A and B are shown apart, each in its own frame.
Chain A
Amino acid sequence: MSRSGLIEQERYTCAIGALQSVVAIPRAVPILHSGPGCGDMIAGFFERSTGYAGGPTSPCTNFTETDVVFGGIDKLRQIISNTYKVLDTDLQVVLTGCTSGIVGDDIGGLVEEFKEEGKPIVSVETAGFKCNNFEAHSLVVNAIIDQYSDFYGTKPRTEKNRVNLIASIPYQDAFWKGNLVEYKRLLKGLGIDANILFGPYCGGVKEWQNIPAANFNILVSPWYGKPIADNLASKYEQPYYWYHHIPIGANQAEEFLYGVLNFAIENEAEIDEETAKSFIERESKAYYEEIDNLATFLLEFRYGLPNHVHILHDAGYVAALSKFLLHEVGIIPKEQFVTDNAPLEFQEEIRANIAATSNKREIKVYFEPDAGAAQDMIRKLSHSGRGLIIGSGWDKELAKEKDYDFLSAALPTPYRLVLTSNYCGFTGGLRVIEDIYNTVLSTYK
């Protein structure tokens, strides 16, 4: 951590960045009560992330000096009521910026007025100075649960085989769309229906209304999203199965799926265990057919492949990729950098999870949201063999300096497009392998 608390090369954005979690809900609209630049900054950070009504479509009060002095609540009232005229949406989420946060506009009270008219509207305080978007994602989701989902009278825990999945953060995880769909497919293979809540394969606001019906929940995350699982646990007494990182490749996917399976059975889900197990086995078999075909290339390619890796990513990806690359690809994880500003209380757990990757080697982990400092550390490191850096677009220049291979997998990612690819699961592991070695092979010209 820097002495001053500065951050060089941001890998996340501020609280209002969680407006993207609203954008990820089909037909939902974020309404910004913020300065004029907030939406533009967020759109610029995530890139290609407009969705249904995000980016330049999102209504915004665009605070002026007058609003700072006199408050902007009347302007917000006008903009909300005209949003209903201009945009056709199923859910409206009002998010505040620093300006509103500091001048203290009572948006909760205002939003109540619209709720009384029967509007599906929610408000949440996301002043940028409050926290980053990893944390604010939970604020936004919990606000929707508390102020929207809760009002439909859905009886808690009525569907034995339904779960709410709390995993990839929309847009902050570049692979969120593909990941959520892949989780849904894998869980379906076990006989479990998952509310994935975001993206084109979720059921939109209807699915959000059905959140209480789930029998239990699944949290796939080292730390972010946990307040959502906790909220649901206390609100609807839904227990949750917690897997601490994104399961990439066969080892982790199997561990994850067997874990879920056991948890489901313990919680009296109606699961045909044999069918579920044979599903996992078939997935695994298909995966190893690829690894079998690939192994000759990994072992024999004589013109040079990377043998070690530095990862700069959120804690979930750092843990998952370290485990996956070591055991299933044969690339040695060296010093790793967690750039998500993981709170202190989770750091020991994350450290232990990464340490458990191997009992014969130590993997050094640094918690460093100041990624410029992380880069400076990597600049000074030297390991024998060809190196690989997996990080954000910022790291492309570092990789060039060090003459390492580079895979862009974290945000911001101006050098790579990700549409619906997934990194989770068996297929996700194969995709990571394709991405790494396509990058490596493209260096041969």
Chain B
Amino acid sequence: MSEINLKSPSVTIRETRINSITGYQGSADGLVAASKCLMKDKNRTFSQCVGCATSKAACMTILIQDGAVISHGPVGCSSCLHEFAFTYRVNSYLREVQNPTQRKIFSTNLTEKDTVFGGTAKLEATIREVKERVNPNVIFVLTTCAAGIIGDDVGNVCDEASQELSIPVVAIFCEGFRSRVWTTGFDAAYHGIARKLIKSAKKRRDDIINVINFWGTDIFKEWFAPFGAVPNYITPYSTLASLESSSESAATVQACSTLGSYLGAVLEKEFGVPEIPAAPPYGIAQTDRWFRALGRILDKEEIAEQIIAEKKEKYLPEIEKVREKLKGKRAYVTAGAAHGHALLDVLGELGMRAVGAAIFHHDCRYDSGRDENDQLAQRVSDYGNVPNFNVCNKQEFELVNVLFKLRPDVLLARHGGMTLWGAKLGIPALLIGDEHYSMGYEGLVNYGNRLIEVIENDEFVKNLEKHAVNPYTKWWLAQEPYAFLEGGAIA
């Protein structure tokens, strides 16, 4: 089903591997049904800046504690990476990293001359200089559009440098133009890590569980404790050593199936670490399934049942209180694929009405090939259909148009820049960066209370609405939101 080939230097892009698409207009149940067959992606005749694979690959490598990252390209291709240096520093306490070290981020600084004569010599020299300057345990080299088009043999340069310097130098192929789905960059980073860093397991540890995630709070430590296990977080705040031995873990779980689809499957198929057959634990129904699946895989089903019972007793009364306050509120979601589905689960569980969603892309299947990983299908069966469900890769003009018409009570977003338009239209908007915040029973209470707060405290957005600058034409706001999408009125 899925295409995993660790012999190939670069990962197969998402569009090919798991039939990911970036344009769809309809309803959630329609998309779930359509995903069972091969879906064709749709083009837009108007589009805005999106984002590319290279920064996603960067975010999964820069936060590895003892690594250095080289962007092989002009300086622009790494100019936002200081954001990850900031993240590493300010969130380090969540992983008990007492003295977060400065992130080591370099650019080969390709210039016009290099695009004519090639940039491999510069890359070789850069790798040597980085080794000498910061002495990292591992070096990651990220490719860019320019490096890709001029055809530098980055894989070969990295392999030779590895030999020469006696540390792993990992080539990660993440040129922006290769894939329309920027999350291919996560896959690219994981592919490089799996090929060059993860070692075959010498033993199996039943006390370690891989968690593929970003940099959220350390909730898995508490959740795994009753099972007698600890989390091995991949990749933020990991080390070369912890990545190398991630093949020894008892199982793999993911905070977001979009993020971890590929690596979860690679760990299972190539290294024998089973991925738990359940989508991440958002909403009660899915949380119960998730704990049970984990219990089964660890052969500790009774512990899972015990946790579920305890959590129900502790949190259900509080969840009920939150539900009372949120009942019937209309919400709109915009987020990356699986996390968007997760937020829709949370809304469903809290008794809110999901009036629509703009999800950045859609994976028609997951690399595991298992239906149990399909959070959207579960959302629809657990809490019902979501109308106005659209796949839209951060096309702001479409989002503005939809919000202008739907006017939900609250906008839930995950990804910078997307809350602004809620606020400009006077719609309270919430972005939670910590992907663990709304997980599990406690997550429903956390997130629910934040939602109540955000909806209640709307003075700021109401004032902003009165003064908001709007560059969109009246004509556009009167059109159907997906008019420029293939098959639409103007496309």
Contact = CB atoms under 8 A, between A and B. Distances in A.
Interface residues of B, number: 70
27 contacts: A3-B125, A4-B128, A5-B122, A5-B126, A6-B122, A7-B106, A8-B105, A9-B82, A14-B76, A29-B471, A35-B176, A36-B49, A40-B50, A40-B52, A42-B79, A44-B80, A45-B76, A45-B79, A52-B471, A55-B417, A57-B48, A86-B397, A98-B145, A102-B149, A127-B74, A394-B82, A412-B79
Given A8-B104, A129-B111, A36 B176 contact: yes
Interface in A81-140: 82-83, 85-89, 97-99, 101-103, 127-130, 132
A38 B126 contact: no
B47 A60 contact: yes
Contacts of A56: 48-49, 394, 396, 417-418
A79 interface: yes
Contacts of A10: 75, 78-79, 82, 107
B472 A61 contact: no
A1 to B, nearest CB: 10
Given A7-B75, A8-B104, A59 B46 contact: yes
Interface stretch (A63-71, A238-246, A310-318): A63-71
Contacts of B45: 78-79, 82
B107 A6 contact: yes
A61 to B, nearest CB: 7
Contacts of B107: 6-8, 10
B271 interface: no
Interface of A: 2-10, 12-17, 27, 29, 32, 35-45, 50, 52-53, 55-65, 67-68, 78-79, 82-83, 85-89, 97-99, 101-103, 127-130, 132, 372-373, 376, 393-394, 397-398, 412, 414-415
B223 to A, nearest CB: 32
Contacts of B106: 6-8, 372
A99 B85 CA distance: 28
Nearest to B394: A56
Given A7-B106, A68-B177, A38 B76 contact: yes
A2 B182 CA distance: 32
Contacts of A36: 49-52, 176-177, 180, 182
Given A59-B48, A82-B46, A85-B475, A37 B133 contact: no
Contacts of A43: 49, 80, 417
B301 interface: no
Contacts of A67: 177
B131 to A, nearest CB: 11
B460 interface: no
B114 interface: yes
Nearest to B82: A412
A98 B144 CA distance: 10
B129 interface: yes
B145 A5 contact: no
